[in-house]
Every structure is written in structure tokens, then in C-alpha cells.
């Protein structure tokens, strides 16, 4: 033990100690490797003695792809997103991939970052961000790099997609509110719309229109709790007072709206005005809110995303697929129910 603590041992060192060739070492560490039990035994023994570990960089270089998958997400500290990322990351790891996390808010950041990701010869990429530069996806296409988009528009003809069925969700929202007695609908949306938000709110407005109702639209600066609360507080009181059923584009916004209505404006929910969210984040079920909402099943979402990615990695010629996920209403305390 005089020295030796310095450089990482290589397959060469292991081979020498075990009295075999470097290929044997490689095979011993390759899942389906064609190697005899005895040789494997010798190798693993020598390896653990030396503290040997396969160098994934070298392996990746040789195999022309690392086991890394890019995971791109904005607003990671938001309840829905953090849960998505956790589930995706766990699913990836379970399948033997290593998620490389890119968190960035400004689109141009994201571009250069993803750009640098590509240098790692990643096996694929999952985009949950709201801002996927189109050019970037084109880049991936040129490289033949598998991409899965989560709750995003398919801006190009590249990449599989997993999306909540926002259209049906918006219709569902209108139906829930109307069925529980709302006559004058409202809809709270952020000024800067994302794919999810537009899909939902547009479908909601359209479904209402079909029934001869023209909802009031309220705006929040962005889709945060604070902005939603401020948005409702800034709304025209006369108009707001007419509304008896408010659909919010996300749960986070619904919670902000709820606090504005009840605590800032002193309105009774659900008696005076019903409130309905979308997503079913954890906080929606907290006793102080007990928010009715439309649930997105993000556990199965993560599984589908990773499955699509794996299939695409296995066969790059697949036609682009779109998986639409069903949504289910979760009626809690901010809507009225008869029976």
C-alpha cells in the first residue's frame, strides 16, 4: 500500500492481475458477455481488489453513445414540474440511463446548453420545457437523436410526444362547472400562453360557446401563485361578481385565485363562485384548499415517455407517435355537488 492510490486502475491492470486479456475484462463487465464463469470470477475478484470501475467515457466513445439522456426542464421548483422530473429521472435510472439535467428559463440559454449536451453523444432527450427552440429539434433530427416531447406542441416533424388530452380536458372543465350549477363562467389564464395552457383554455371556451355561454377571461402575468392572485385582485369587480364558475388553467393558478377570492375579496367558495383547477398537484389536496381539479396522471406519463424513448432508440425509423393521456375530474370542495 505504499503508493497506488493515484491513478484509476484500467482494464489493463485488472487483466494483468487476473492473468487474462483485456477483452476478458471487458466481457466480464458487459451484460451479455460471452465468458466462462471461472474467468468472470477471476476478473471480478481482481477488479474489486483494485477498485476497478469501467470508464464510461471510454466505453461511450467506443460504442458511439453514452447512456446519458438529456432531461430539459424549466421552472423545476414548481410542484407539477418537480414531480414530473422526479418520476422521469427515476424511470430513466431504472432503465439504466443517466439523466443529465438542463434547467434554464430563457430559451437562448437552453439552446446553447442542449447544444453542449449533444457533445456527450447522449442517447436521447426529453423536453418538458416550455421553450424548445425549433432549430434545436431540427438539429436533433439531423443527428437522428431520439426526442420525446412532454406536453408540448410538435413544432417540427421530429420527436414522439406525450400530451395530456387538453382538448377533452377543457371540455371536461366546462362540463363539470356547468353540471354543478354554474351559469356564468370565467377563465383565468396567463398572458404568455404555453401549449398546455392554450389547449385547455381554448377547449374550455369553445365548449362553453357550444352551450351558448361566453366566459369572461381573466389574465395573470404568468402562471405562478402570486401572479394568479394578483390577477384576480386586479380584475374588474363588477365582472368578477357576475361569475359563478371559474376555471383556472393550472392548479397553481387556481390556488392563487382561491386565496384572492376568499381571503382578499371575501367571496364564498363554492357557494358564491366555484373554482376548478387543472393538474392535481399535491397542494390541491391540502385541507386549506381542497381544490376541485382535472387530474393529469403523471406517473403513467413518465412511464410512457421512457417507453417511447427506448423504443425509438431501438428503432429510429419509427413514425412519430403521439400518446394522448386521459384526464379525470377530481371533485373536492371548491365545486358544488348535489348527491
Partner DNA sequence: TTGAAAGCGCTAACAA
Partner DNA sequence: TTGTTAGCGCTTTCAA
Q: Which of 103, 272, 320, 325 binds a second copy (CB under 8 A)?
A: 103
Judged by CB under 8 A, the stretch of 136-144, 161-169, 304-312, 320-328 that binds a second copy is 136-144
Kind and range of the H or E run holding 67:
none
Is 145 a binder of DNA (CB under 7 A)? Answer: no
- Residue 35, contacted partner among DNA, a second copy, none, CB below 5-8 A by kind: DNA
* Residue bearing cell 386549506: 288
Residue 246 CB partners (closer than 8 Å, separation 6+): 185, 186, 187, 188, 218, 257, 261, 273, 274, 275, 276
Q: Which does 4 bind (CB under 5 to 8 A by kind): a second copy, DNA, none?
A: none
Distance separating alpha carbons of residues 82 and 45, to the nearest angstrom? 41
Give the binding range for a second copy (CB under 8 A) out of 40-48, 116-124, 164-172, 302-310. 116-124
Q: Is 68 in the site for a second copy (CB under 8 A)?
A: yes
Is the CA virtual torsion 40, 43, 48, 54 positive or negative?
negative
Residue 27: half-sphere exposure toward Cβ, Cα within 13 Å:
16
Q: Does 278 bind DNA (CB under 7 A)?
A: no
The strand pair at 216-220 and 160-164 is best described as unpaired
Find the binder of a second copy among 14, 72, 102, 240 (CB under 8 A). 102
Nearer to DNA, 122 or 273 (CB): 122
Packing angle of the helix pair 107-118, 134-143 (nearest 10 deg)? 10
Q: Cβ 213 to a second copy, closest distance in Å?
A: 30
Given a second copy, DNA, none, residue 116, with its beta carbon under 5 to 8 Å by kind, binds a second copy
Which residues, in sequence order, are CB contacts of 331 under 8 Å at separation 6+?
A: 176, 292, 337
Nearer to DNA, 58 or 322 (CB): 58
**H helical segments located in 10-118:** 11-18, 22-28, 37-50, 56-63, 79-94, 107-118
| Contact present, 168 and 203 (Cβ < 8 Å) | yes
Q: Are 66 and 60 in contact (CB under 8 A)?
A: yes
Nearer to DNA, 16 or 141 (CB): 16
Return d(Cα 305, Cα 303) in angstroms, integer: 5
Total residues contacting a second copy by CB under 8 A comes to 60
Question: Residue 39's binding partner, choosing from DNA, a second copy, none, with beta-carbon cut-off 5 to 8 A by kind?
Answer: DNA
Contact set for DNA, span 30-59 (CB under 7 A) = 30, 34-36, 38-39, 52-55, 58-59
Identify whether the C-beta of residue 267 lies closer than 8 Å to the C-beta of residue 260. no
Q: Tell whether residue 79 is a contact of a second copy (CB under 8 A).
A: yes
Does residue number 338 form part of the binding site for DNA (CB under 7 A)? no
Residues 212-271 that bind a second copy (CB under 8 A): 225, 229, 255, 258-260, 262-264
Continuous segment of H or E residues that includes residue 132: none
Q: How far is the CB of 94 from a second copy (least distance, A)?
A: 10
Q: Could you tell me where the beta strands, DSSP code E, fall in the chain?
A: 68-73, 98-103, 124-127, 147-150, 160-164, 185-190, 216-220, 245-248, 274-279, 292-296, 322-325, 327-330
Complex with a second copy: residue 225 or 278, whichever CB lies closer: 225
Which range of residues in 17-25, 221-229, 290-298, 307-315 is near DNA by CB under 7 A?
17-25
116 binds DNA (CB under 7 A): no
229 Cβ contact partners less than 8 Å away, ≥ 6 residues apart: 256, 257, 259, 260, 264
**Where does this chain bind DNA (CB under 7 A)?**
7-8, 10-12, 20-27, 29-30, 34-36, 38-39, 52-55, 58-59, 61-64
**Where does this chain bind a second copy (CB under 8 A)?**
5, 8, 51, 53-61, 66, 68, 71, 76-79, 81-83, 85-86, 89-90, 93, 98-104, 113, 115-121, 139, 142-143, 225, 229, 255, 258-260, 262-264, 282-283, 286-289
Amino acid at each position: 500500500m505504499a503508493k497506488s492510490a493515484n491513478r484509476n486502475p484500467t482494464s489493463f491492470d485488472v487483466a494483468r492481475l487476473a492473468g487474462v486479456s483485456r477483452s476478458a475484462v471487458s466481457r466480464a463487465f458487459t451484460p451479455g458477455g460471452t465468458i466462462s464463469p471461472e474467468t468472470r470470477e477471476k476478473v471480478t475478484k481482481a477488479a474489486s481488489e483494485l477498485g476497478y470501475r469501467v470508464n464510461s467515457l471510454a466505453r461511450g466513445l467506443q460504442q458511439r453513445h453514452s447512456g446519458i439522456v438529456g432531461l430539459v426542464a424549466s421552472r423545476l421548483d414548481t410542484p407539477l414540474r418537480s414531480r414530473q422530473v422526479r418520476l422521469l429521472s427515476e424511470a430513466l435510472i431504472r432503465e439504466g440511463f443517466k439523466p443529465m439535467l438542463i434547467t434554464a428559463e430563457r430559451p437562448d440559454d437552453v439552446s446553447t446548453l442542449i447544444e453542449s449536451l449533444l457533445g456527450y453523444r447522449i442517447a436521447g432527450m426529453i423536453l418538458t420545457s416550455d421553450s424548445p427552440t425549433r432549430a434545436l429539434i431540427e438539429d436533433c433530427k439531423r443527428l437522428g437523436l431520439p426526442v420525446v416531447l412532454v406536453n408540448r406542441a410538435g413544432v417540427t416533424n421530429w420527436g414522439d410526444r406525450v400530451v395530456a388530452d387538453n382538448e377533452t380536458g377543457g371540455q371536461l372543465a366546462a362540463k363539470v362547472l356547468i353540471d354543478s350549477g354554474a351559469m356564468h363562467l370565467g377563465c383565468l389564464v396567463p398572458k404568455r400562453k404555453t401549449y398546455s395552457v392554450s389547449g385547455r383554455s381554448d377547449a374550455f371556451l369553445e365548449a362553453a360557446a357550444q352551450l351558448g355561454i361566453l366566459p369572461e377571461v381573466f389574465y395573470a402575468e404568468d402562471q405562478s401563485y402570486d401572479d394568479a392572485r394578483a390577477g384576480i385582485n386586479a380584475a374588474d369587480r363588477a365582472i368578477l361578481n357576475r361569475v359563478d364558475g371559474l376555471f383556472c388553467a393550472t392548479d397553481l393558478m387556481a390556488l392563487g385565485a382561491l386565496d384572492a377570492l376568499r381571503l382578499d375579496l371575501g367571496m364564498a367558495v363554492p357557494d358564491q363562485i366555484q373554482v376548478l383547477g387543472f393538474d392535481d398537484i399535491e397542494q390541491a389536496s391540502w385541507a386549506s384548499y381542497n381544490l376541485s381539479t382535472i387530474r393529469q396522471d403523471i406517473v403513467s406519463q413518465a412511464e410512457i415517455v421512457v417507453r417511447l424513448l427506448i423504443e425509438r432508440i431501438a428503432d429510429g425509423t419509427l413514425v412519430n407517435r403521439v400518446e394522448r393521456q386521459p384526464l379525470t375530474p377530481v371533485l373536492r370542495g371548491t365545486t358544488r355537488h348535489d348527491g
